[in-house]
Structure 1
Amino acid sequence: MGHSRTILGRLILFPFLHGFILLCMSMSTPLESATLSSGNTFGSETDRLALLDLKKRITRDPFHVLGSWNDSIHFCNWVGVTCNPSTKRVLILKLNSHKLVGSLPPSIGNLTHLTGINLRNNSFHGEIPQEIGRLQSLQALNLSQNSLGGKIPTNISHCTQLRVLNLYSNHIIGSIPNQLSSLLNLNILWIDINSLTGAIPAWLGNFSSLHELFLPEHFQGSIPNELGRLTSLEVFSLAANNLYGIIPSSIYNISSIKNFSVAANQLHGELPRNPGINLPNLETFHCGDNKFTGTVPASLLNSSRIQILDFPLMVSLGHSLLKILEACEA
């Protein structure tokens, strides 16, 4: 049940996130020069070779989207490739949802002007190369819905301009590397539906620009108090983990939260009295399959934005909610 609720929440939020990611990936960057220099010519050749190396690693291309990747046209006109018009350096690599099968070569790190990578919804396998850390202009990395394994590369920590890190639905193992604490510009962190383990790092509380936080399903321990510092957060999803203890009260004061889910854990304690007041933008509130006690906060029932409420069986409906249910049945 907890897992199905997580999927439901993702289906509701995915159109928004998809649009946001595409927006991030279509962002333009300032022109580096009005004319091509010899250095840029060399860089362009480096980019071309890196793209051809990626093509070699793709073993299945049922829609023939890489058919244009040859010397008959300039690589800036290849399908899925967007270049800076002046420097002819690759800015965006967008090959999502083409049923591609293959792996990522280390040479992807040679595309040093990349601001966006979107390979979502394919069948890429193998590990994410450490060389991706060379992409220091990267703002959006979307490798979600593939079959990538291994650990999260620690060298991603060098991509300090990163705003979107989406590794959702792969086979990634290990823990969240502490090196990722350098990604202070992150707006979106999706790393759930993987095989990551460990505890929630307290340093996530330093990501003051974070809007959406989706963590994996195998984390243990308590929820760090530091997460209460994420004052820009709109989506807080820690569902289907092995978390215990109480939810830090500071999290209930993040007024920007729209979607809140801690369902299917081992959390306990009483629910706060006024989440409908302290969280005025709240639309979904999932806390079922936990050990919470007390009554459903009346302020949630009076909130005009609430669409979905999910509570544990141990939580009493309370007089106000019973009155509402009786009125609906009458």
Structure 2
Amino acid sequence: MDRSSHLYLLITSLLLLQWLIDYSSAKSDINTDRSSLLAFKSQISFDPHNILTKNWSSGSNICSWIGVTCDSRYHRVTQLNISSMGLVGTIPPEIGNLFFLVSLDLSENSFRDPIPSSIFNMSSLEVLKLRNNSLSSSLSIDMCKDNLHRLKRLHISYNKLFGEIPSSLEQCSQLEYVSLTSNNFSGRVPTQIGNLTLLQELYLSSNNLIGNIPKEIATLTNLGSLDLSINNFVGHVPRKIANLPMLQSLDLRTNKLSGPIPKELGRLVNLWELQLNYNFLVNGSIPKEMGNMTSLSYLLLSSNELSGEIPNEIFLLNNLLDLNIGSNRLSGSLPREIGNTTIQNMWIYENNLSGPIPSTSVNESRLINFALHSHNLNGKIPASICNLRSLKILYLSNNSLEGAVPDCLGNMSTSLLILYLNANKLSGLIQSTFTKGCSLPINLNGNRLNGTLPQTLVNCHRLWDLDIGDNEIRGKFPDTRGLVSRDNCERSQRRYWFVRGKIPVEQPTIVQLRILIM
């Protein structure tokens, strides 16, 4: 046998030996993964669809099990996704023995008790989704110190987790998405969070977090969404948030923030949602610079203590759909630009506005919900309100509006869901144009209306709330047989018909009226 033949046999033998070693090792590793998954299965106390019970069989290849994905080379488990299966149980520590696991998704189940610390030792893990379970524990203070360095997405919202957010989170330097929403986390947001320079989305809402919003968040230049709502943050809205060029959604509502709204926020030209409602924002008005936020679709500033006039620039935002600046201390008149807008939901209530409602407010408007109640507005209800073909809710109550109720509101009674004009100085007759099928609640209480109730009210056979008290309505009550059905009255305690005010002494022909207050 020549030299080359010996060399060939040697190489072949070495390759065969390496294959045998790899095969033996792979088989051992597969058994490790199998043992880990079977340990997981043993902790499931309820499997409503019998998915794991029937499919995860010890005699079958684990790579064929539902929810399990293996890599093609070593046949190791790389993904485990058993989300939304209605499973009840606990997560065993053996889950940490899936050393090749890249993605773990156990969300939308009913797993309880602590998150096993072994999960935080998985060096290959990139995606961890445990949201919407009943997990209860704190996060290890060193959760990212030694492992999880590849972790990109952390979804552990809607659980019962508690304690402080660990400062070691900064060492999970590849994080792009973090959601701790709706848990019981407390304490301050660690300033080290500013070191997660790849972070694109940060959701910490509905916890018990305190202190100032860390200014270090302003260094997260890739951040597109920031939600710190429904916590106990204090202090001012950081001006440096305006340095986040990619920010599209900023939600700071329902905290204890004070001070002015930073005018610098006007630089956030990519922002489409800004929620600062339910805080204690004072010491200033709504910055006119907000008119530069050309992508803005949702602007919610209600329930603060903002003062001054409403800037015209807001109504020139071409993408604005939802505006809520109610329950503040705003003054002045309604801008004429109010009608040159794409706004669909306009909530401007409980302030100190005065003057008339501009007739331009309804010329080209797409309004669906229109609330201007509880001001000092005067003048007439503009007849052009009839142009609001998409209108569903109209609140103009608690003002000093005068003149007649526009007849067209009766024509809109099949599309309108709520019509509240109470506590004004409206006079004349109630419109007689209620169309067949109308069901809206009507509140005209506390005006100067006179005449009789229109017979067309009988068209409102699903009417469940009519308040005409404190007016000067006279004459006979319209024939309302069939107006209120016994089924509708008794099906729900909410479905009844209130009639208040001056009712004629002649007995009306109401056969199924449940409540009559005179």
TM tier relative to shorter chain? 0.7 to 0.9
Match of 1:38 among 3, 17, 24: 24
Q: Deviations over 1:158-209 (max 9, x none)?
A: 2111001111000001111223221111111100100110001100000000
Match of 2:217 among 210, 213, 227: 227
> Does the Cα contact within 8 Å between 1:148 and 1:172 map onto a contact in 2?
yes
- Separation in 1 of the partners of 2:39 and 2:176? 31
TM-fit CA distance, 1:78: 0.2
> Does the Cα contact within 8 Å between 1:150 and 1:172 map onto a contact in 2?
yes
TM-fit CA distance, 1:58: 0.6
TM-fit CA distance, 1:292: 1.5
> Does the Cα contact within 8 Å between 1:162 and 1:185 map onto a contact in 2?
yes
Q: Deviations over 1:76-114 (max 9, x none)?
A: 110000001110110000001010001000000100110
What are the equivalent positions in structure 2 for 1:212-251 lying under 5 Å apart?
Answer: 212-216=201-205, 217-251=207-241
- Separation in 1 of the partners of 2:142 and 2:33? 20
TM-fit CA distance, 1:155: 5.0
TM-fit CA distance, 1:40: 2.2
Aligned CA distance change for structure 1 residues 150 and 275 (closer, same or farther; 3 Å) = same
TM-fit CA distance, 1:306: 1.2
TM-fit CA distance, 1:34: 9.8
Match of 2:152 among 157, 163, 172: 163
> Does the Cα contact within 8 Å between 1:130 and 1:154 map onto a contact in 2?
no
- Tell whether 2:49 aligns with 1:58: no
> Does the Cα contact within 8 Å between 2:169 and 2:193 map onto a contact in 1?
no
Stretches of 4+ aligned residues off by more than 6 angstroms: none
More deviation, 33-42/132-141: 33-42
> Paired residues, what number?
297
> Does the Cα contact within 8 Å between 1:221 and 1:242 map onto a contact in 2?
yes
> Does the Cα contact within 8 Å between 2:239 and 2:264 map onto a contact in 1?
no
Q: CA RMSD in A?
A: 1.9
Q: Deviations over 1:32-80 (max 9, x none)?
A: x999542222111100000000000011111122121013420011000
- Separation in 2 of the partners of 1:71 and 1:288? 55
TM-fit CA distance, 1:225: 1.3
- Separation in 2 of the partners of 1:140 and 1:319? 45
- Tell whether 2:298 aligns with 1:304: no
- Tell whether 2:133 aligns with 1:100: no
Query: AA paired with 1:319?
Result: P
> Does the Cα contact within 8 Å between 1:110 and 1:134 map onto a contact in 2?
no
Aligned CA distance change for structure 1 residues 155 and 52 (closer, same or farther; 3 Å) = farther
Query: Which structure is higher in RCO with an 8 Å CA cutoff and minimum separation 6?
Result: 1
Q: Unpaired runs of 5+ in structure 1?
A: 1-32
Q: What's the TM-score, normalizing by structure 1?
A: 0.85
Query: AA paired with 2:35?
Result: L
TM-fit CA distance, 1:318: 2.1
Aligned CA distance change for structure 1 residues 186 and 34 (closer, same or farther; 3 Å) = farther
- Separation in 2 of the partners of 1:200 and 1:34? 51
> Does the Cα contact within 8 Å between 1:205 and 1:229 map onto a contact in 2?
yes
- Separation in 2 of the partners of 1:214 and 1:279? 19
- Separation in 2 of the partners of 1:274 and 1:155? 37
Give the corresponding residue for 1:21: none
SS at match of 2:143: helix
- Separation in 1 of the partners of 2:237 and 2:99? 42
- Separation in 2 of the partners of 1:328 and 1:129? 59
Q: What's the TM-score, normalizing by structure 2?
A: 0.55
* Percent identity over paired residues: 31
TM-fit CA distance, 1:319: 3.4
What are the equivalent positions in structure 2 for 1:1-330 lying under 5 Å apart?
Answer: 36-66=22-52, 67-154=54-141, 156-157=143-144, 158-216=147-205, 217-276=207-266, 278-293=267-282, 294-312=284-302, 313-316=304-307, 317-320=309-312, 321=314, 322-323=334-335, 324-325=337-338, 326=358, 327-329=360-362
- Separation in 1 of the partners of 2:66 and 2:142? 28
- Separation in 1 of the partners of 2:120 and 2:210? 28
Q: Unpaired runs of 5+ in structure 2?
A: 1-17, 315-333, 339-357, 364-518
Q: Deviations over 1:140-169 (max 9, x none)?
A: 000000000011134531211100111100
More deviation, 51-60/71-80: 71-80
> Does the Cα contact within 8 Å between 2:287 and 2:311 map onto a contact in 1?
no
